[in-house]
A and B are shown apart, each in its own frame.
Chain A
Amino acid sequence: MEKTVKIKVDGLYKTYLDARGRVYDALKKIDLEVYEGELLCLLGPSGCGKTTLLRIMAGFEQPSRGYVAIDGGIVEKPHVKYMILFQNYGLFPWRTVLGNTEYGLEVNGVPARQRKEKAMELVRLVGLEKFAHNHPHQLSGGMQQRTAVARALAVDPEVIFMDEPLGALDAMTRLKMQEEIVRLWQDKRKTIVFVTHDISEAVYLSDRIAIMSLSPGRISKLVDVPLGRPRNRSGADFARVQDFIYAEFEMSIREEIDYYI
């Protein structure tokens, strides 16, 4: 099957001035192509700029040099076709689960009845039909996450950017949500870019993993994950890939130490 490039990141830099007025690169020369319908993880230690990269891809920040293009069009500002899921969800506390899910349709002029139906369908898809009329503060972390996913899916985006969306969940819920994300991704065939610092999460989810390293933030290695789906976390293959990624990850960190010495 021919792969079409959905997102192209080309020669992208993000520079900041530090407290002493020196220029430093938070992101240096990022080149990346994300294919249509793939699930790609940006994996890196905290502070490597993976969230910044994601925010630039989603149009929330501007690069200092280079560009991001989706379907050939340069990304300059956020767009409803490219949804970002934030780390702490950003659910509207004054709206119910259903109300949150409806939001995107509502502000884009979908008539009330139609949007209720569509939103309910998505609430059902993420398994929250019993909580449709609850407010976010009455939900567990996992359920809040599901609501955020339903809200993003409601506007039928082409790309979903996920910024460590499972970071705040406990270990068991986290595993469950990883399965859910794969299920939804297989069902909806969206292009997903997922930021994480958890190696096993990256291996479980991704088609490809972009390993990032620190100072300056850059992509040090792009790795294919040669595993079929559904993936078995306790399988030998899984462990092998995970070890491989871990070794790469270590190496990128060691480089980092050398860099300082």
Chain B
Amino acid sequence: MKKKEIKKKIFRPVSFLPLEKIIYPLITLLAFTGIWHGLSTMYPTYQLPSPLDVCRGMMELWGEGVIWEHIRVSLFRFSVAYFLAAASGIFLGLLFGWHIRLHAAFDPFVQMLRPISPIAWFPLAILWFKVGDPPAIFIIYLAAFFPILLTTIAAVRSVEHIYLQVALNFGTRERDILTKIIIPAAFPQIMVGLHLALGSAWIHLVAGEMLGAQSGLGFLIIDARNFLRTDWIISGMIFIGLLGLALDKCMGWMEKRINLLWGHVMKN
């Protein structure tokens, strides 16, 4: 009996009022800002500016249009790197997922490269690509490529056998098996990889832009530190966080749309 009650408690669906969804995070935000403000009174501004200082800093960056240029540059690098990673990761993932021998040949190599943080590639990135966009794009690419590659391989591998048997029964040619069976069957899982990679790529964007770049959100932060504009550092961080959140939401929305179109049920 007791077990049943516990179960009930765990599995009872919780429903929010629409207002609650706004109020709860707002309370957290207010509390956080309050504590932050309290702490900021104990430190000099260059170490911890108050929330108000940061607000002013944000307005400043916004008003002068500086922030837009940085965002534009960052998004450009990010999209180039991300699309390169998606194209090459999905292509190789399909190849390795389908051809078992090829996978056996490359897997140890991939597994060895994978645990190397993209940040460890910094020196090489600089040596190879000098300064500007290319080293940053390279770092972001690395951050996105491996999750996409690995999930695509796993996705192809886990395509249900029965689909292939049905395809075989209908006399499907190998080319059609790839386009009409493997890709659509693996797509939802590939999408998960794309989503993961988006987060990883965005995180490494900042790192990538801290080396050699003369623009972008990562550069903004580093540059602000050189002038001890701590309010701009935090403003930059907030912009990065908000943009990352927006990208993630966009991706989630696209994922949902595609799954619907594809007829897959979201497992929640």
Contact = CB atoms under 8 A, between A and B. Distances in A.
A121 B168 CA distance: 24
A94 B165 CA distance: 16
Given A86-B166, A90-B163, A108 B171 contact: yes
Contacts of B265: 93, 137
A78 B163 CA distance: 14
B171 A95 contact: no
Nearest to B160: A90
B169 A92 contact: no
Chain A binding surface, main DSSP class? loop
A94 B263 contact: yes
A80 interface: yes
B253 interface: no
Given A93-B263, A93-B264, A108 B170 contact: yes
A92 B163 contact: yes
A77 B167 CA distance: 13
Among B162, B163, B263, chain A packs the most CB atoms within 10 A around the CB of: B263
Given A90-B162, A93-B264, A135-B263, A107 B170 contact: yes
Interface residues of A, number: 26
Among B169, B172, B176, B184, chain A packs the most CB atoms within 10 A around the CB of: B169
A88 B168 contact: no
A58 interface: yes
Interface in B111-137: none
Nearest to B181: A92
Contacts of A135: 263
A137 B259 CA distance: 12
Interface of A: 58, 60, 77-80, 82-84, 86, 88, 90, 92-96, 103-104, 106-108, 135-137, 155
Interface of B: 160, 162-163, 165-173, 176, 180-181, 184-185, 187, 262-265
Closest A-B pairs by Cβ, 9 of them: A135-B263, A90-B162, A94-B184, A104-B170, A80-B171, A94-B262, A90-B166, A78-B169, A107-B172
22 contacts: A60-B168, A78-B165, A78-B168, A78-B169, A83-B169, A84-B165, A84-B169, A86-B162, A86-B166, A88-B162, A90-B165, A92-B166, A93-B263, A93-B264, A95-B263, A96-B263, A103-B170, A106-B180, A107-B173, A108-B170, A137-B263, A137-B264
Given A80-B170, A92-B184, A107-B173, 10 more contacts: A78-B168, A79-B171, A80-B171, A82-B169, A84-B169, A86-B166, A92-B163, A92-B185, A94-B264, A95-B184
